[in-house]
Structure 1
Amino acid sequence: MMLEIRQEDPQDQNAVQSLNLAAFENGPEAALVDALRSSCKEYLAFVAVEDGAVVGHILFTPVTVDGSDAAGMGLAPMAVLPSRQRKGIGTQLVRHGLEHLRRSGCPFVIVLGHPEYYPRFGFEQASTYRLVSQWEGVPDEAFMVAVFDDNALPRAGGTARYRNEFDDAM
């Protein structure tokens, strides 16, 4: 089966919503994606398509670091249809998205995710750069950053912030 990864199109919206509801067991992620799509002009999403069906989705939205002009992107959420998980689709989505952002000049990407999964893509513990999550109780090893431009991050670090829509979903 051929897997195609491309930028999300408006006609993908229903499939993406169904995918997120399935992947996250009806959690808040599907509503979060819909809210971000309508409110965030820098919304960047890719879909994985197999035999004409959307089987994976990844979303990047702007993040900032308090007290600085540092601006990068946050990866969240990333979802693969449960029946298609553990087949490398998520890996391809993450690689494609990060490569697109690196080429477009994005200085860094943060993720709150599985510490066994994301380091293979160049993510390191954000605390290495003195970055902390805006949410309390986030384990240090789960809050990570992939840095493409060392000069873009404030030397003093700071609190990295996702868009406000994420607070409503947490």
Structure 2
Amino acid sequence: MLIRYETLADIGAIHDLTSIAFKSTPYSDGTEAEIVRRLRAAGDLTISLVAEEEGEILGHVAFSPVTIDGGHAGWFGLGPISVKPETQRQGIGKALIARGLELLEEMAASGCALIGNPDIYSRAGFSSDGQLRYLDVDRRLVQWIVLRGPAPCGTLQFSAAFEG
């Protein structure tokens, strides 16, 4: 499996993959593929990686700038992340996250935050101490990984692309 940056030729496949990957998830509002498109259009798609095998895109992950209490301070958000349903639970998502975090480290980023299931994302090193908030979301779902500097504390805000 090859993990690489997206190319222009991948955009349609990423859109389709993201739509399919979230189609049957109960927590999805069906906007994930559109969020990726809006991130790209706004210039907020800082890192966009695909997992490819034999020419087929099996997974995609997006990283975009976030603010904490209104300041950027080198923090990024992870998501959406999509893996082709029939290839889930094979380590593709974890590999995409690991590579994205490596690239953020190379950029001297402070860290990365996400909203997600702690049982899943703790395996990739994410955690929550309840000090980072996002809207009215249960604080244990608001997770982060520090790459340099202090742990985040305050109100997390994702790119406007997440708001529609």
Q: What is the TM-score normalised by the length of structure 1?
A: 0.87
Of the three residues 12, 15, 30, the one matched with 2:13 is: 15
How many residue pairs match? The answer is 159
CA distance in 1, matches of 2:19, 2:69: 32
State the Cα distance separating 1:79 from its structure 2 match: 0.4
1:90-169 alignment, distance < 5 Å: 90-127=93-130, 130-133=131-134, 135-136=135-136, 138-151=137-150, 157-168=153-164
1:85 aligns with 2:88: yes
Percent pairwise identity: 35
Which shows bigger deviation, 77-86 or 40-49?
40-49
Q: Offset of 1:150 from its aligned partner?
A: 2.2
State the Cα deviation string for residues 3-58 of structure 1 (Å, max 9, x = none). 10001111100000010111011811111111111112453110000110111000
Q: Who is 2:39 aligned against?
A: 36
Q: The residue matched to 2:118 in structure 1 has which SS?
A: coil
CA distance in 1, matches of 2:71, 2:37: 29
Distance 1:132 1:118 in 2: 17
Contact map agreement 1:73 1:108 (CA 8 A) in 2 = yes
Q: Deviation at 1:67?
A: 4.8
| Alignment gaps of 5+ in structure 2 | 25-29
Asked if 1:49 corresponds to 2:52, the answer is: yes
Kindly report the root-mean-square deviation, in angstroms, between the aligned alpha carbons of the 2 structures.
1.7
Q: Tell me the alpha carbon deviations over residues 72-101 of structure 1, each in whole angstroms, 9 at most, x when there is no partner.
A: 100010000111111111111111111111
2:56 aligned partner, one-letter code = A
Deviations 1:92-129 (A, max 9, x none): 111111111112211110010111011122211052xx
| Matched position secondary structure for 1:86 | coil
Query: Quick one: which amino acid aligns to residue 161 of structure 2?
Result: E
The aligned counterpart of 2:77 is 74
- TM value normalised by structure 2: 0.90
Equivalents in 1 of 2:50, 2:161: separation in Å? 21
Residues 147 and 87 of structure 1, relative CA distance in 2, 3 Å threshold: same
